[in-house]
Structures are given as structure tokens and as C-alpha cells.
Structure 1
Amino acid sequence: MTGQLPVTSFKHMEMTMTDRVPYREAIALQPAALNTCFKAVSKRLETLDVEPIKAGPSVLVGIGASLYAAVAAAAQMRSQGLRAFALPGTDLYDRSIDAGGAYIAFSASGRSEEPARAMELRPSAHTYGIAKADGTPISRVVKHMIATESGNDSGPNTTSYLGSLLSAALLADKAGNFSGAQWSEISARAAAVIAGSRAQADKAARLLAGKTSIDCVGAGTALGTAGYAALLIREAARVAAQDWDTLNFLHGPMEPNDRSTGVFLFGNGREVKLARDLADFGIPSVLITGRNDVDDADNLVVIHVAPFSDGIGDAILQAIPAQLLIATLSEEAGLPICEFRYRQTDTKRDV
């Protein structure tokens, strides 16, 4: 019949509609999603062969928000004695590139074309997938699948991003030196951060509102958080944003900043002095930190997140006030629901 969609298209539309919720609502779902993820991934890891990851090096592959999850995860793995680094999937489109002993594909939806293709080109390699559910396209091109079971998500990604981080943290504990983190407590800690950081996140959003661009700065696992935050700002608030490694930011990239721009920082080290310096220069800045010896000042809003576990544990919790801040930015810009204006048709695989 003319104009009738095929059954597969209806199935794709139904899945898209039922697993997407408004951005701010998805933020509130994250404590429950983390609890479900912790239980599901812990059980999966009981039987998962991690010897190739122990031997390394492991190449963590992603695109978009999942690339930033891979950046954070690789930094965490290195801190636990594993050899690991992150690459965008497109860096592995040449099948002759032998970059590691194991490949871990991150795809929040399980449908991203680039990490799937990178795995598909390596049928003989030790390959793993991390995505919100099994049975997604990524599961068909890897040998070992880790489903986060993070449930309903928003656009931009919220629950699936934190689920990817937690899954990577549990995997790092299984394959590397134990982090000591009490991951069973992460859900309750996330709920406390949502409740406790909302007011400061709104204050920070007012400071950054109307800026022509926002730089996002962090190091190690927090570099992944900075990349994720920059992507959220671009997608949800439609403001130009860029991620930077903390020390790299000092070597020239900060020069264009002035009162018309903003800087968003994550960390407890050099980021603290940098935030204070930027504020003194008259540059509106927001700092998310576990330190309690730094307070709000002119041009500076500080969001305190109590330390949980060095690295990815803190990265999970520090992503939440960033999400809240950006939700307010998007709402005040008249964009309470993120709808891509320039969506491309070749970035996702059909289920």
C-alpha cells in the first residue's frame, strides 16, 4: 500500500518511542537504573572470561557519549594496573590495524554504527560489548556481551551513560586490582547527589546562561566527564562547547575566554586553582569537586559532591549535577525536550 511503512519500521518507531523519556525525568531515574545495572552486571561478570583484558592492552571503542565513557573507563583501568586506552571507532576502520589484545565496544543504545563496524572488522579478536541491552546490533558483532540493563533513557543519554560507567568499573574490578569501592551503595549515593545538588546546579546554570561558548575541563576519568558535559551542552542547550584536558587547557586554549564565555571544571587538583584564577579574570566558571575547602565567589559557583571512590566512582556522581545544570540551561533556552535538528541517517543500525 502506498505510504505504508514496513513492519520493521513500525518496530523501530515503537522501540524509539517507548524507551525514551524527557531529559529531566531520566535524570531522576538514574538511582534505580544504577541499582539494576549493579545487580545485572555483577551476575554477568561471574561467568565472563576477562583473561584477554588482564593480558591487554585493551582498546576501548566508542562514539559520541559512549566515547567519553570509554575515555573515563580506560583511565580507570590504567589506575587499576590494566593496560587500556580509548579510541573512536573510526580509528579502527582499517582492518589491518592491530591495536590491542582485547577490544571493548561501548554503545549506549547498542546501535551505534562506528563501534559496531570496528568490532565487525575483527572477527578473530577478543571482543566485548557494553550496551543497555542484549540483542542489540552490537551484541551480534562481539564475542562477549555485557548488558547494563539501565532501562529507559533520554536524548541526550543519561541512564545509559551512567550504566556504561558502572559496568566498566565493575569490569575493572574483575580484571584488575580491586578499587575498594562499595558499588552496592552507588544508587543511594546518586539519589543523595540529585537531592543535594539541585539548588547549586540551578545557580550555576544562571551563571552560564547566555554564554556564547562553554569549555569543559577535567583530567583522567574527569576528562571523560568533561567530554560528556560538552556534548550534553551542545545537544540539549545548543551552545558551542568543547572538552579539554586540564593541563592542556593552560597551554593556549583558554585565551579566547572572557565574560561572554564560560568554563565548567571537574576535579580536586589543578582544576581548583584554575577555577579561582578564571573567576578572578572575570570569566564565569563552575567547579564540581569533592573538596570542601573551596566556596562560591564572584564569577564562580562550586558544586560539592562528597567523594565516593577515586576515579570512575566519583565520575558517576559528578556527572549528575552536570546533567541537572544542563537541564536548566536547556529549559531556559526553550528546549525542554532534546530534538536533533540535523539528525543523520547513517549513525545507527536497525535492531
Structure 2
Amino acid sequence: MIYRSTIARQPDQFRHTLEVVGSQLRDFDLVPFEKGTVVVTGIGASYEAAGVVAGELQRRGRRANTWRAVDLMEPGDPGDAIIVFSVGGRSIEPIAALTVHSRLPSLAITNEGNDPLSRAASAALRFESGPDSLPSSTGYTGSLLAGGLLIDALCGEDSFNWNDIPLIASEVLEASAKKMARIGEMFHDQRAIDCVGAISALGTAGEACLLIREAARVP
């Protein structure tokens, strides 16, 4: 898939993901994830999505933290439940982490659902973001949308209306397109770029860094 084309189809993709995830959550057993400390994990772009979700859970009063999946591959006591993000659901480290911590309730959030990670977890959600590009675009934002809907289900609905997301995405894409030429000039000769954020925005900053490295090929 071409990166720009996957970026452009996100508004339509969000409409589909809202329906798919919302339908699953209506019959989902949330009890194992409602108390205690939640560990949120993944690798690559999925780890950055995990950072956004953990930060939002903290903002909503839940004990939550982000672990790198490789750090969960050894036995220990990281928390009371594990939420794992993986677009393809085939990454070795998250699967190994769930295997090592099989006593804990675990939730795999993946694109298609029929994957090794979903089978290794005690519960699974799929968000059906469609084919993705490299670097990740719809996989990352699909993970965030699924995570946001899950947080509302766990913590009670916030004031935000998720049905507005497709329109907001369209407006952001239109507005940002007008700024790209100027930003391209500003960044053309830069040798280093820092991305900064806190709480939920830390994951956004991390994903921005990842995109700069993978898409723009800037170390």
C-alpha cells in the first residue's frame, strides 16, 4: 500500500472501525480489566499506541503503565491485566509476553483478529483498519480508535463523541495539506528533530519520531 493513499482513506476507515469495535464491545466481558493495574504493551507503532492508551487510562483515574513487550518476556508481577496492541498480531515479543504471563487476564487488540496473538490472549478485539502501509498509518490510528472506545467502556463515556472522528479526520487532512509546502521548507535542511509530549501525548510524540525515521528516513 502507498503511504499517502492509506492516510487519505482514514476518514472512511474510521467509520468502519467505529462500527466494528462498537459491535464487539456491546457483548464484551470487561470485568477482568476493570480493577487493579493495567499493563499496556506492544512493539513499534503499536507500542506508541499503547503509550497513548495508558496515559488516557491514567487521566481517567485508572492505574496503568506502558511496558515494552520485550520486558514482559520474563516471569514477574507487572500488574493485574495486560492489554496488547499489534496490528498484524504476529509479533514474537507480545506473544511470548502473554505466554509467560498466562495467569493474567489479557486482551489482544489487532487488525483482523484471526492471528496468533489473539489466540494467545484470553480475549480479543479486532478493528479492521484494512491493508496498511509501511510506515504504519491506518494500523496505528485504528489501534488508537479501538483503544479509545475500550477506555470509554471501562471508565464510562467521556464528553467526546466518537462519531465525530471521521469528520474531524477529514478536516485535519484538508488543513494540514495546505501547510505541507511551508513545513517542507522549514524542515528541509534540519539534521535533527525532537518530538515532545506528556501523558497521552507521549505516545503521539513517539509515533511522530517513528514516522520521521521510517518515512522521511531521518535518523
Match of 1:231, SS state, is: helix
Aligned to 1:67: 47
Alignment correspondent of 1:182: 161
| Structure with larger RCO (C-alpha < 8 A, sep 6+) | 2
Larger Rg: 1
The 5 A counterparts of 1:188-199 are 188-199=167-178
Q: Distance in 2 between matches of 1:188 and 1:128?
A: 29
Report 1:1-351 matches (<5 A): 21-95=1-75, 97-240=76-219
1:160 partner letter: G
Residue 79 of structure 1 and its aligned partner are, at CA, apart by 1.3
**Structure 2 gaps, min length 5:** none
Helix, strand or coil: the match of 2:194? strand
Q: Determine helix, strand or coil for the equivalent of 1:150.
A: coil
Contact 1:80 1:176 in 2 (8 A): yes
Supply the AA of the counterpart residue of 2:105.
H
User: Do the aligned partners of 1:80 and 1:177 also contact (CA within 8 Å) in 2?
Assistant: no
Partner amino acid, structure 2, of 1:49: D
**SS at the partner of 1:218?**
coil
Q: What CA deviation, in whole Å up to 9, does each residue of 1:80-117 have, x standing for no partner?
A: 1221111100111112x111111011112212221121
SS of equivalent residue, structure 2 residue 93 = helix
Q: Is the 1:128–1:143 Cα contact (8 Å) retained in structure 2? A: yes
RMSD: 1.1
Per the alignment, in what secondary structure is the counterpart of residue 84 of structure 1? Answer: strand
Q: Match of 1:207, as an amino acid?
A: M
Q: TM-score, normalised by structure 2?
A: 0.96
SS of the equivalent of 1:25 reads helix
Q: 1:57 deviation in Å?
A: 0.7
Task: Give the AA of the match of 1:72.
Answer: V
Alpha-carbon separation, structure 2, partners of 1:48 and 1:210: 50
Aligned-partner SS, 1:217? coil
How big is the shift at 1:124?
2.1
Moved over 4 A (4+): none
Count of aligned residue pairs for this structure pair: 219
Higher helix fraction (1 or 2): 2
For residue 44 of structure 1, report the CA deviation from its aligned partner. 0.7
Structure 1 position 56, deviation (Å): 2.4
- Deviation of 1:205 (Å): 2.3
How many Å separate the matches in 2 of 1:117 and 1:202? 44
Cα distance in 2 for residues equivalent to 1:201 and 1:226:
19
Deviation of 1:160 (Å): 0.8
Offset at residue 73 of structure 1 (A): 0.4
**Which residue type is aligned with residue 11 of structure 2?**
P
* Cα shift at 1:177: 3.5
Pairwise CA distance, 1:77 = 1.0
Identity %: 38
How much has 1:164 moved relative to structure 2? 0.5
- Which has the higher mean CA deviation after the structures are superposed, 75-84 or 62-71? 75-84
Where 2:128 maps in the other structure, the secondary structure is coil
Question: Structure 1: which 5+ residue stretches go unaligned?
Answer: 1-20, 241-351
